[in-house]
Structure 1
Amino acid sequence: MDSSQGSTLQSNVTRFTDGSSPSTEAKYIDNVPVYVKELIAGGAAGAFAKTAVAPLERIKILLQTRNQGFHSLGICQSLKKLLKYEGVAGFYKGNGASVLRIVPYAALHFMTYERYRLWILDNYSGLGTGPVVDLLAGSAAGGTAVLFTYPLDLARTKLAYQTSDTRGTVLQGTRQINAFPAYSGIRNVIERVYIEGGVCSLYRGIGPTLFGILPYAGLKFYIYEELKRHVPEEHQTSILLLLSCGALAGLFGQTLTYPLDVVRRQMQIEHLLPSSQGGVRYRNTLDGLVSIVSTQGWRQLFAGLSINYIKIVPSVAIGFTAYDTMKTWLGIPPRQKSKAISTS
């Protein structure tokens, strides 16, 4: 590199770092449509939050589905057992499918929430601009995101359910805790499920998922936005306050809809259950709720809820906070109170 090239490079670096001249990157971001920025912000927030709580998510699924060797253990003992037989990697088993699902899910969830909210404000002004709009927009957004990403959630559950001893330790005369045919990855799960039952099998458990996500997503946005309205304007960007609002929103919403999540998980892994539990197929969500209460006890409807409380606090809080922070970083205009903003 000659001296003139070095001088030019140094000049460009200086201009980029000290902000003395307009940045090409900043200009590019400014020209990106608002809805695309919302997709980016939502996807990034979802991936960050999901990875942060992956170990607790894995344990929750094992408890919800009554996995052999884990259903009678507590949180700490389950984490220790998983670490012993699968190592640190076991904490993140199925997380690839989880992140692959959560990026489009969160992106669609946040973006469609913003779009639905503006549409409601512009077409149904009689509803006002308060929490009812957030409740309706959040519910519709949650349902939309679920319909587009459900097969990935199914794959995540099946991958997380299968447990094996990867440390080579013999457990009860076998290297596997569960002797089910192992799935090798996301694509393998989707292919095998499709071959076994067609497209419908990829949406096994979608009923309780929608019944659960519609009120949960709506309540989550409703509570979060309502709590934020009571935060003084000078503290609206406080990370701690945003985390607190998000945590409370997630805790309250999840408590009311958790039994539906348990039914969904059990419907997703029915054919993987041991023969002693096999042959039990829930016809629908209500049948699943009744069957679980009568055969497993009402407490099973809340199996893993304690973990969910621990998980929801950071997950939803981080998700909302990261989304609001990304919106600021990407230059997304403040949320409108009445008229829709241009998406270009």
Structure 2
Amino acid sequence: MSVKGDHLKDEGSRLQVTAAGATAGLISRFVIAPLDVVKIRLQLQTHSLSDPRSHRDLQGGPIYKGTLRTMRQILASEGVTGLWKGNVPAELMYVCYSAVQFVTYRTTTQLLRAALGGEGAGGGGAGGGALPQSAESFIAGAAGGAAATAATYPLDLLRTRFAAQGNDRVYGSLRRAVLQIRRDEGLRGFFRGLGPGLAQIVPYMGVFFAVYETLRPHLSGLDLPFGSGGAVAGTVASVLAKTGTFPLDLVRKRIQVQGPTRRRYVHKNIPEYKGTVGAVRTILRQEGLRGLYRGLTVSLVKAAPASAVTMWTYERALLFYTGLAERWEQSL
């Protein structure tokens, strides 16, 4: 049977899936790093040029407007390296996240099929009580996202804090950041915002994989760029999932920079929030509904290439590693 005819979660050994997921995360992160920094800066901004209320607080930090203008402003004030701030913890996070996500996704699918006696998603729920493909993919995707988020959350928090600091460096290095957070905030400091993070990632990854697995078979036979429908399916799935869960992602970012260093980042006027619900209420009261969607445009722009590169690289990396294993076995 052709490898392309199988689902991602059925292909390769656990080691091969882990290696392919890590490779996909590493390459994807490097490609979209500048857009990620821009997104974080916009999410942390509590004022904008188009909001007349912002003019009362111009000393709170730089005012960013639009993806390209924000990128140019960062380049002008912080140099090229400003667009890759937080890239070291982010690279570590993406590698670990992708590996944990794909392994958990594959393992959860196998457990579901073993428990329900189903052979796969193709039967639409028929055959031994197997779940429909969309339900199976949703559960496996949500489990993979939750496990990966919890396992790599300290790296996510460090990524956000480094991306949020301007020329006034809050942390001199990754090691010093870890030691300083541990000393001043304790172990709980590394998990600020984990609640909204899990609340966001479960529906996000569930919807992403459900849409992806539904679209990919229909697109696989088309003559598309890169020779696969995986990139297009990944892009559509990511855009739909990201739009629906974006407010929780913004709240997570705002909570991640709480603590004793809150007023030292590039945006020095970030309010103090009391929990997820309190953060949502404060944002709605001070910034309106629009405040929950700051940075959505660049987030969608980022999500498309990130997911496309991730899924495209994952499929080809998995083919490479499985082929490498086959050649190794033949040589023995």
TM-score of the aligned structures, taking structure 1 as reference length: 0.77
What are the residue-to-residue correspondences of 1:68-147 with 2, within 5 Å? 68-124=60-116, 125=118, 126-147=129-150
> Percent identity over the alignment?
29
Output one character per residue of 1:60-110: Cα deviation in whole Å (capped at 9) or x when no partner. 101111185444422122111111122111111111110011101111101
2:328 alignment counterpart: none
1:182 alignment counterpart: 170
Following the alignment from structure 1 to structure 2, what is the Cα–Cα distance between the partners of residues 298 and 278?
17
Decide whether the 8 Å contact of 1:152 with 1:186 is kept in 2. Answer: no
2:263 alignment counterpart: 274
What are the residue-to-residue correspondences of 1:145-160 with 2, within 5 Å? 145-160=148-163
2:125 alignment counterpart: none
Output one character per residue of 1:104-144: Cα deviation in whole Å (capped at 9) or x when no partner. 11111011101111111111243425111010001011111
Aligned partner (choices 20, 33, 45) of residue 66 of structure 1: 45
Give the C-alpha shift of residue 201 in structure 1. Answer: 1.3
Following the alignment from structure 1 to structure 2, what is the Cα–Cα distance between the partners of residues 113 and 41?
13
Bigger Rg over Cα = 1
Letter in structure 2 aligned against 1:80: R
Letter in structure 2 aligned against 1:261: D
Following the alignment from structure 1 to structure 2, what is the Cα–Cα distance between the partners of residues 96 and 232?
35
Of 298-307 and 286-295, deviating more is: 286-295
Aligned residues: CA RMSD: 2.1
2:318 maps to 1:327: yes
CA distance change for structure 1 residues 93 and 279 in 2, over 3 Å: closer, same or farther?
Answer: closer
Partner SS for 1:111: helix
1:192 alignment counterpart: 180
2:198 alignment counterpart: 210
Partner SS for 1:230: helix
Output one character per residue of 1:161-207: Cα deviation in whole Å (capped at 9) or x when no partner. 0011xxxxxxxxxxx4xxxx620222222221111121111101000
Can you give the 5+ residue segments of structure 2 that lack an aligned partner in the other structure? 1-11, 47-59, 119-128, 324-332
1:245 alignment counterpart: 233
Following the alignment from structure 1 to structure 2, what is the Cα–Cα distance between the partners of residues 279 and 315?
30
TM-score of the aligned structures, taking structure 2 as reference length: 0.80
Letter in structure 2 aligned against 1:310: V
Give the C-alpha shift of residue 297 in structure 1. Answer: 1.8
Letter in structure 2 aligned against 1:75: T
1:29 alignment counterpart: none
Following the alignment from structure 2 to structure 1, what is the Cα–Cα distance between the partners of residues 299 and 62?
16
Decide whether the 8 Å contact of 1:282 with 1:288 is kept in 2. Answer: yes
Decide whether the 8 Å contact of 1:158 with 1:189 is kept in 2. Answer: no
Give the C-alpha shift of residue 296 in structure 1. Answer: 2.0
CA distance change for structure 1 residues 237 and 278 in 2, over 3 Å: closer, same or farther?
Answer: closer
Of 264-273 and 316-325, deviating more is: 264-273
Decide whether the 8 Å contact of 1:61 with 1:157 is kept in 2. Answer: yes
What are the residue-to-residue correspondences of 1:46-61 with 2, within 5 Å? 46-61=25-40
